[in-house]
Amino acid sequence: MNLKSFAKVCGLAVGLAASTSVWAIPAATVGDVDNFIASTLLPNSDPVTQENWADLQGVGDLTFITRIGIGEPDEDSGLEGTWELVDGTDDVYALFLEGYTPEYFLVKTGKNNNYPGDFRDFLYENIDSLGYAVIDLSEAGIDNIGKISHVTLFKGEGTVTVSEPASLALLGIALAGLGASRRRRQ
């Protein structure tokens, strides 16, 4: 075998390895299946369009965080992820959310021919392990995992994060102020 054909065989081997991009991951690592909320067919995949629709699904006012590309990096965030089959299942998949812990996420797919309506936008509430999106394909009506193009992450409405020490300090300042104003009045 000459060098050129050896390089070709190597290239083929790398290509095969890359195409089997689904690996099994333990359920204990990724947590429970996240709550499927609603699906639709949006006119485009703009995050603003997605957020406006998500806001109407009874989950409060969501805020766009970022987007993770599947199979290729997202053009804006540069983030890329891979779905992994959850051990012991045949259609539950998990995606590591690149260190983000969103309360909600939207899965954007290509055509879903096997399901009525051909919905391509699927909204989930993120539960249990917030670092992973875990979805049941048949529950939502997604033909196969390879059809997912990207996942959009959202912050929930009730997540104004004030830490305990900070809120106690604020309460302390407020009480001190109240005390001071009472003393001035006397």
Q: Which stretch binds Ca ion (CB under 5 A): 8-16, 30-38, 85-93, 167-175?
A: 30-38
How many residues touch Ca ion under the rule CB under 5 A: the total is 4
Phi, psi of 37, deg, nearest 5: -105, -55
Q: What separation, in Å, do the N-terminal and C-terminal C-alpha atoms of the chain show? A: 100
Q: Which one, 50 or 132, has the nearer CB to Ca ion?
A: 132
Does position 84 interact with Ca ion (CB under 5 A)? The reply is: no
Distance between CA atoms of 68 and 108, rounded to whole angstroms? 10
109 binds Ca ion (CB under 5 A): no
Task: Extract the tokens encoding 185.
Answer: 């009045």
Enter the DSSP assignment of 179.
Answer: H
- Which residue's CB is nearer to Ca ion, number 34 or number 121? 34
* Identity of the residue, 109 or 133, whose beta carbon is nearer to Ca ion in the bound complex: 133
Give the x-and-dash track for 34-53 against Ca ion (CB under 5 A).
x-------------------
Specify the residue, 95 or 108, whose C-beta has the smaller distance to Ca ion: 95
Give SS3 for 128: coil
Bridge-partner residues for 133, per DSSP? 95
Nearer to Ca ion, 132 or 154 (CB): 132
Please select the residue that binds Ca ion; options are 50, 109, 126, 152, rule is CB under 5 A: 126
118: enclosing H helix or E strand: none
- What is the pairing mode between strands 104-109 and 24-25? unpaired
Q: Which residues bind to Ca ion, rule: CB under 5 A?
A: 34, 126, 129, 132
